[in-house]
Amino acid sequence: MSGITDTAPVTLRRVIAGASIGNAVEWFDFAIYGFLATHIAANFFPAGNDTAALLNTFAIFAAAFFMRPLGGFVFGPLGDRIGRHRVLALVILLMSAATLAIGLLPTYAGIGVLAPVLLLVLRCLQGFSAGGEYGGGAVYLAEYGGVRNRGRTVTFMVWSGVVGFLLGSATVTALSAWLTTAQMASYGWRIPFLIAGPLGLVGLYIRVRLDDTPQFKELDAADNIAKSPLREAVRSSWRQILAVIGVFVVFNVGYYVVFTYLPTYFIKNLGFSTTDAFVSSTLACLVAIVVILPLAALSDRIGRRPLLIAGSVGFAVLGYPLFLLLNSGSLAAAITAHIGLALVECVYISAAVSAGVELFATRVRYSGFAVGYNLCVAVFGGTTPYAVTWLTGATANPLSPAYYIVAAAVISLAAVLTLAETAGRPLRG
């Protein structure tokens, strides 16, 4: 089980499409929550303190991420026992159902405090299902990708996530332009959540038609599937799990600052319009969509470590100057800084997922990566918008997010330096 060296192009395209569309739907779901944060705050919390309502909205956003490790603990071992593609079909169904239900929720004006409680429950269900989505998709792609192009294949997970963010942003902005402010506040905010239902069914249809990976089927045929994958992963691969946690610190902090927090930062802190924020976010996403896959292909040629080191050093060195540029008062400068942050993030994330998945053996690959990745996301992912919002308010310093990014970059750089190079080598059997 040294790895797949030559997957048929037609099969590989189907596999990539199946993993990517589900992941894009997941990040569409998460993105619209971030882009609609101010509307959600107004509808699900009592009026009177806009900052408190926004903080509560981001707190619920973060709460979903604390459920992701639980999802990783459940779906990771399940994927190592019953197969990757079955779990991937289950998680997209859960994610889409929860998102659809958010679009149907009564507001605070209708049912009082029960409204934010139900919102929290549904967000936690989203987080629980997401705990199996990202790790499972990455493992699925890695086990189909050949030695020479595994980095590019796996990184379709990252690429499709940015596509989902862009679709979420475009959907919310189009509705905002089409509907009046009153209509958007009343019912328009619900429409993107309702769209997620049909999108999820499309992803489910594609996934149930896929087969499991050759590596998992070989394990199954040899009756060599781990009886307790989570226990085995923790016992045999705890160093790799810790490495994944460290590597993904700046991955998550940078990702959620660039693609989730900055649209709100443009409006609340920089004083730009919603349209300005959309333009900047769209350009950042488009740049990411263009450069992520070529950078991933580069990691197949020169290795994962050079790109991971370049990305973490880039954030450590450029994080503060780019936030200074953001706050210069010029829209053009702010957009340039936003794109600059996105480019640094792209350098890092183009190699991070493949590097993380390649650390584990097939028997525990889903469990080990899902646990490490989701523990990191819980602490450094969904909490990022809340943490930088709180830091900015508590210090009255609009540059506070830069310090947070620089600290995350230093942590991840230390973790990256402990990794052995895995590019161009067969997956561990």
What CATH number should be reported for the domain holding residue 243?
1.20.1250.20
Angle in degrees, CA 282, 283, 288, rounded to 5: 100
Record the tokens describing residue 87, joined without a space.
Answer: 């779990």
pLDDT of the residue at 3: 43
| Tokens, residue 37 | 């944060």
pLDDT at 74: 92
Collapsed DSSP state (helix, strand, coil) of residue 183 = helix
Q: How confident is the model at residue 49 (pLDDT cuts 50, 70, 90)?
A: low
Mean pLDDT of 253-276: 88
pLDDT at 422 over 80: yes
- 151-185: pLDDT as tens digits: 999 999 999 989 988 888 888 888 888 888 888 88
What percentage of the chain exceeds 90 in pLDDT? 40
Predicted local confidence at residue 86, as pLDDT: 86
Can you give the pLDDT at residue 2? 42
Average pLDDT over residues 233-245: 94
Most confident of 95-99, 341-345, 396-400: 341-345
Tokens 């679709």 belong to residue: 167
The reported pTM is: 0.87
In the chain, the percentage of residues whose pLDDT exceeds 70 is 97
Tell me whether residue 227 is in a domain. Answer: no
* pLDDT band at residue 4 under the 50/70/90 scheme: very low
On whether residue 239 sits in a domain, the answer given is: yes
Q: Is residue 423 part of a domain?
A: no
- The amino acid present at 28, given as its one-letter code, is F
User: How high is the pLDDT of residue 421?
Assistant: 93
Whether residue 372 is predicted with pLDDT greater than 80 in this model: the reply is yes
User: Is 387 part of any domain?
Assistant: yes
DSSP assignment of 42-86: HHHS-TT-HHHHHHHHHHHHHHHHHTHHHHHHHHHHHHHHH-HHH
Within its chain, how far is the Cα of 294 from the centroid?
20
pLDDT band at 1 (very low <50, low <70, confident <90, very high): very low
Instruction: Note the pLDDT of residue 305.
Output: 97
Range 234-255 average pLDDT: 95
Residue burial 334-355, b: 16+ Cβ < 10 Å; e: rest: bbbbbbbbbbbbbbbbbbbbbb
pLDDT score recorded for residue 6: 56
Asked if 326 contacts 338 with a C-beta cutoff of 8 angstroms, the reply is yes
Domain-embedded: residue 224: no
Q: How far apart are CA 21 and CA 366, in angstroms?
A: 19
Q: How far is the C-alpha of 158 from the C-alpha of 135, rounded, in Å?
A: 11
Q: What is the mean pLDDT of residues 250-264?
A: 90
Q: Is residue 5 part of a domain?
A: no
**Average pLDDT score over the chain:** 88
Instruction: Note whether residue 69 is domain-resident.
Output: yes
pLDDT exceeds cutoff 90 at 321: yes
- Residue 89 has a pLDDT of 86
3-state helix, strand, coil in the chain (%, to 5): 85, 0, 15
Question: Tell me, what's the pLDDT at 144?
Answer: 87
Q: How confident is the model at residue 53 (pLDDT cuts 50, 70, 90)?
A: confident
Q: For residue 396, what are its two tokens?
A: 């009255």
The domain in which residue 301 lies consists of 12-216+232-418
Helices then strands, each counted (H, E), the chain: 20, 0
In a domain? residue 6: no
Q: Give the number of domains in the chain.
A: 1
Q: Is the dihedral of CA 287, 289, 290, 296 positive or negative?
A: positive
> How much is the average pLDDT of 325-341?
96
Of 349 and 37, the one with more pLDDT: 349
pLDDT digits (tens, 9 = 90+) for 268-312: 889 998 789 888 989 999 999 999 999 999 999 999 999 999 999
